[in-house]
Chain A
Amino acid sequence: DVKVTQSSRYLVKRTGEKVFLECVQDMDHENMFWYRQDPGLGLRLIYFSYDVKMKEKGDIPEGYSVSREKKERFSLILESASTNQTSMYLCASSFGLRGLGRNEQFFGPGTRLTVL
Protein backbone atom coordinates (compact mmCIF):
# COMPACT_ATOMS: atom_id res chain seq x y z
CA ASP A 1 0.00 0.00 0.00
CA VAL A 2 1.05 3.55 -0.69
CA LYS A 3 1.94 5.37 2.47
CA VAL A 4 2.07 9.13 2.82
CA THR A 5 2.96 10.36 6.28
CA GLN A 6 2.96 13.84 7.76
CA SER A 7 5.18 14.86 10.65
CA SER A 8 2.42 16.04 12.99
CA ARG A 9 -1.33 15.52 13.33
CA TYR A 10 -1.81 18.65 15.43
CA LEU A 11 0.40 21.70 15.74
CA VAL A 12 -0.03 24.95 17.69
CA LYS A 13 2.24 27.88 16.88
CA ARG A 14 2.40 31.58 17.68
CA THR A 15 2.11 34.43 15.21
CA GLY A 16 5.46 35.20 13.61
CA GLU A 17 7.01 31.78 14.20
CA LYS A 18 8.62 29.84 11.37
CA VAL A 19 6.75 26.59 10.84
CA PHE A 20 7.86 23.45 9.04
CA LEU A 21 5.43 20.79 7.90
CA GLU A 22 7.00 17.63 6.60
CA CYS A 23 5.62 15.00 4.26
CA VAL A 24 7.19 11.67 3.36
CA GLN A 25 6.02 9.08 0.82
CA ASP A 26 7.39 5.58 0.44
CA MET A 27 6.33 4.71 -3.12
CA ASP A 28 9.01 6.48 -5.15
CA HIS A 29 6.44 8.95 -6.51
CA GLU A 30 7.68 11.76 -8.70
CA ASN A 31 4.89 14.22 -7.89
CA MET A 32 4.15 15.71 -4.49
CA PHE A 33 1.56 18.31 -3.49
CA TRP A 34 0.59 20.53 -0.57
CA TYR A 35 -3.04 21.57 -0.08
CA ARG A 36 -4.91 23.42 2.59
CA GLN A 37 -8.52 22.70 3.41
CA ASP A 38 -10.89 25.21 4.96
CA PRO A 39 -14.63 25.01 5.62
CA GLY A 40 -16.58 26.49 2.75
CA LEU A 41 -13.47 26.86 0.57
CA GLY A 42 -12.65 23.21 -0.05
CA LEU A 43 -9.17 22.02 -0.95
CA ARG A 44 -6.79 24.53 -2.45
CA LEU A 45 -3.37 23.77 -3.91
CA ILE A 46 -0.48 25.68 -2.34
CA TYR A 47 2.59 24.25 -4.09
CA PHE A 48 3.58 21.14 -5.96
CA SER A 49 6.73 19.46 -7.18
CA TYR A 50 7.34 17.18 -10.16
CA ASP A 51 10.89 16.26 -9.23
CA VAL A 52 13.64 16.80 -6.72
CA LYS A 53 14.55 20.48 -6.35
CA MET A 54 11.67 21.47 -8.62
CA LYS A 55 8.64 23.36 -7.41
CA GLU A 56 5.70 25.16 -8.89
CA LYS A 57 3.19 27.53 -7.38
CA GLY A 58 -0.34 26.40 -6.94
CA ASP A 59 -3.38 28.59 -6.48
CA ILE A 60 -2.50 30.15 -3.10
CA PRO A 61 1.31 30.23 -2.64
CA GLU A 62 1.48 33.55 -0.80
CA GLY A 63 3.01 33.23 2.65
CA TYR A 64 4.39 29.75 1.95
CA SER A 65 7.53 28.19 0.52
CA VAL A 66 8.52 24.58 -0.10
CA SER A 67 11.60 22.42 -0.23
CA ARG A 68 12.23 19.11 -1.95
CA GLU A 69 15.80 17.96 -1.45
CA LYS A 70 15.01 14.26 -1.64
CA LYS A 71 12.46 12.48 -3.79
CA GLU A 72 10.49 11.07 -0.87
CA ARG A 73 10.27 14.25 1.20
CA PHE A 74 8.38 17.48 0.55
CA SER A 75 8.39 20.24 3.15
CA LEU A 76 6.02 23.17 3.48
CA ILE A 77 7.39 26.23 5.23
CA LEU A 78 5.49 29.10 6.73
CA GLU A 79 8.15 31.80 7.01
CA SER A 80 6.20 33.91 9.51
CA ALA A 81 2.99 32.24 10.62
CA SER A 82 -0.18 34.31 10.73
CA THR A 83 -3.60 33.57 12.17
CA ASN A 84 -5.12 33.29 8.70
CA GLN A 85 -2.88 30.28 8.09
CA THR A 86 -4.80 28.30 10.69
CA SER A 87 -6.05 25.38 8.65
CA MET A 88 -5.86 21.68 7.84
CA TYR A 89 -2.82 20.97 5.66
CA LEU A 90 -2.82 17.92 3.43
CA CYS A 91 0.07 16.41 1.53
CA ALA A 92 -0.37 14.13 -1.48
CA SER A 93 1.80 12.24 -3.94
CA SER A 94 1.44 10.47 -7.28
CA PHE A 95 3.41 8.72 -9.95
CA GLY A 96 4.42 10.76 -12.96
CA LEU A 97 3.14 8.01 -15.20
CA ARG A 98 0.12 9.61 -16.75
CA GLY A 99 0.59 7.67 -19.98
CA LEU A 100 0.09 4.46 -18.06
CA GLY A 101 -2.90 5.83 -16.19
CA ARG A 102 -0.98 5.82 -12.94
CA ASN A 103 -1.41 9.36 -11.77
CA GLU A 104 -3.79 8.67 -8.88
CA GLN A 105 -3.11 11.01 -5.96
CA PHE A 106 -2.65 9.53 -2.48
CA PHE A 107 -3.07 11.69 0.59
CA GLY A 108 -1.51 11.83 4.02
CA PRO A 109 -3.54 12.05 7.26
CA GLY A 110 -3.31 15.83 7.45
CA THR A 111 -1.87 18.32 9.94
CA ARG A 112 -4.25 20.57 11.83
CA LEU A 113 -2.31 23.79 12.36
CA THR A 114 -3.51 26.46 14.77
CA VAL A 115 -1.73 29.82 14.80
CA LEU A 116 -2.41 31.90 17.93
Chain B
Amino acid sequence: KQEVTQIPAALSVPEGENLVLNCSFTDSAIYNLQWFRQDPGKGLTSLLLIQSSQREQTSGRLNASLDKSSGRSTLYIAASQPGDSATYLCAVTPLNFGNEKLTFGTGTRLTIIP
Protein backbone atom coordinates (compact mmCIF):
# COMPACT_ATOMS: atom_id res chain seq x y z
CA LYS B 1 0.00 0.00 0.00
CA GLN B 2 1.37 3.40 -0.99
CA GLU B 3 2.40 5.69 1.85
CA VAL B 4 3.35 9.31 1.33
CA THR B 5 5.26 11.22 3.99
CA GLN B 6 6.19 14.87 4.29
CA ILE B 7 8.84 15.95 6.74
CA PRO B 8 8.95 18.30 8.54
CA ALA B 9 5.32 18.76 9.54
CA ALA B 10 5.96 22.47 10.11
CA LEU B 11 8.62 24.90 8.96
CA SER B 12 9.28 28.58 9.70
CA VAL B 13 11.73 30.64 7.66
CA PRO B 14 12.48 34.37 7.35
CA GLU B 15 11.16 36.22 4.34
CA GLY B 16 13.44 36.19 1.32
CA GLU B 17 15.02 32.82 1.97
CA ASN B 18 14.96 29.95 -0.46
CA LEU B 19 13.49 26.76 0.95
CA VAL B 20 12.84 23.12 0.11
CA LEU B 21 9.86 20.99 1.06
CA ASN B 22 10.18 17.22 0.98
CA CYS B 23 7.85 14.42 -0.07
CA SER B 24 8.62 10.69 0.13
CA PHE B 25 6.61 7.78 -1.21
CA THR B 26 7.07 4.07 -0.64
CA ASP B 27 5.91 2.63 -3.99
CA SER B 28 7.75 3.91 -7.06
CA ALA B 29 4.99 2.67 -9.41
CA ILE B 30 3.48 6.10 -9.84
CA TYR B 31 2.07 7.84 -12.88
CA ASN B 32 2.64 11.38 -11.65
CA LEU B 33 2.97 13.52 -8.54
CA GLN B 34 1.07 16.68 -7.78
CA TRP B 35 1.91 19.50 -5.37
CA PHE B 36 -0.87 21.56 -3.76
CA ARG B 37 -1.11 24.44 -1.37
CA GLN B 38 -3.92 24.88 1.13
CA ASP B 39 -4.71 28.07 2.99
CA PRO B 40 -6.45 27.72 6.37
CA GLY B 41 -10.08 26.70 6.01
CA LYS B 42 -9.86 26.64 2.21
CA GLY B 43 -9.66 24.10 -0.57
CA LEU B 44 -6.53 22.88 -2.31
CA THR B 45 -4.86 24.85 -5.08
CA SER B 46 -2.88 22.85 -7.61
CA LEU B 47 0.69 24.17 -7.95
CA LEU B 48 2.58 21.73 -10.13
CA LEU B 49 2.09 18.32 -11.67
CA ILE B 50 5.18 16.33 -12.57
CA GLN B 51 4.95 13.21 -14.71
CA SER B 52 6.91 10.10 -13.75
CA SER B 53 9.01 10.51 -16.90
CA GLN B 54 10.00 14.06 -15.93
CA ARG B 55 12.72 15.18 -13.56
CA GLU B 56 11.53 18.75 -12.99
CA GLN B 57 8.66 21.14 -13.44
CA THR B 58 8.78 24.89 -12.92
CA SER B 59 6.20 27.59 -12.37
CA GLY B 60 7.40 31.06 -11.41
CA ARG B 61 9.31 30.85 -8.12
CA LEU B 62 8.39 27.18 -7.68
CA ASN B 63 10.36 24.21 -8.90
CA ALA B 64 9.36 20.61 -8.30
CA SER B 65 11.75 17.72 -8.80
CA LEU B 66 11.05 14.01 -8.91
CA ASP B 67 13.33 11.05 -8.33
CA LYS B 68 11.03 8.09 -8.83
CA SER B 69 13.65 5.44 -8.16
CA SER B 70 14.38 6.79 -4.70
CA GLY B 71 10.75 7.67 -3.99
CA ARG B 72 11.35 11.36 -3.42
CA SER B 73 10.10 14.70 -4.62
CA THR B 74 11.05 18.20 -3.53
CA LEU B 75 9.33 21.53 -3.92
CA TYR B 76 11.76 24.43 -4.06
CA ILE B 77 10.43 27.92 -3.32
CA ALA B 78 12.73 30.79 -4.24
CA ALA B 79 12.77 34.16 -2.50
CA SER B 80 9.99 33.28 -0.07
CA GLN B 81 7.25 35.82 0.72
CA PRO B 82 4.72 36.06 3.56
CA GLY B 83 2.02 35.15 1.02
CA ASP B 84 3.66 31.75 0.63
CA SER B 85 2.56 30.84 4.16
CA ALA B 86 0.22 27.86 3.80
CA THR B 87 0.16 24.09 4.11
CA TYR B 88 1.78 22.28 1.21
CA LEU B 89 0.63 18.81 0.25
CA CYS B 90 2.00 16.33 -2.25
CA ALA B 91 -0.05 13.50 -3.78
CA VAL B 92 0.78 10.61 -6.10
CA THR B 93 -1.33 8.94 -8.80
CA PRO B 94 -0.81 5.17 -9.09
CA LEU B 95 0.64 3.75 -12.28
CA ASN B 96 -2.13 1.29 -13.05
CA PHE B 97 -4.32 2.70 -15.80
CA GLY B 98 -7.83 3.64 -14.78
CA ASN B 99 -6.95 4.21 -11.15
CA GLU B 100 -7.13 7.93 -10.46
CA LYS B 101 -7.12 7.67 -6.67
CA LEU B 102 -4.59 10.07 -5.22
CA THR B 103 -2.61 9.19 -2.13
CA PHE B 104 -1.87 12.34 -0.17
CA GLY B 105 1.02 13.20 2.07
CA THR B 106 0.55 14.50 5.56
CA GLY B 107 1.48 18.07 4.61
CA THR B 108 4.05 20.66 5.68
CA ARG B 109 2.75 23.83 7.31
CA LEU B 110 4.98 26.66 6.11
CA THR B 111 5.24 30.02 7.86
CA ILE B 112 7.23 32.85 6.30
CA ILE B 113 8.32 35.37 8.90
CA PRO B 114 8.27 39.00 7.68
Contact = CB atoms under 8 A, between A and B. Distances in A.
B42 A110 contact: yes
Contacts of B42: 109-110
Contacts of A94: 100
A43 B36 CA distance: 12
Contact residues on B (Cβ < 8 Å of other chain), bracket:
20 to 34
Contact of B51 (A101, A106, A110): A101
B100 A98 contact: yes
Contact of B32 (A42, A101, A109): A101
Interface in A70-116: 88, 90, 92, 94, 96, 98, 101, 103-110, 112
Contacts of A31: 100
B43 A43 contact: no
Nearest to B51: A101
Interface string A15-40: 00000000000000001010000000
A45 B102 CA distance: 8
Contacts of A61: none
A43 B101 contact: no
Interface string A44-88: 010010100000001000000000000000000000000000001
A107 to B, nearest CB: 4
A48 B101 contact: yes
Contact residues on A (Cβ < 8 Å of other chain), bracket:
20 to 34
A108 B32 contact: no
Contact of A104 (B43, B46, B97, B107): B46
A109 B43 CA distance: 4
Given A101-B51, A103-B32, A107-B44, 20 more contacts: A4-B43, A42-B105, A43-B89, A43-B102, A45-B101, A98-B97, A98-B100, A101-B49, A103-B31, A103-B93, A103-B100, A105-B100, A105-B102, A106-B46, A107-B45, A108-B43, A109-B42, A109-B43, A110-B41, A110-B42
30 contacts: A31-B100, A42-B104, A43-B89, A43-B102, A45-B101, A45-B102, A48-B101, A88-B41, A90-B44, A94-B100, A98-B31, A98-B97, A101-B32, A101-B49, A101-B51, A103-B31, A103-B93, A104-B49, A105-B46, A105-B91, A105-B102, A107-B43, A107-B44, A107-B46, A108-B43, A109-B42, A109-B43, A110-B41, A110-B42, A112-B41
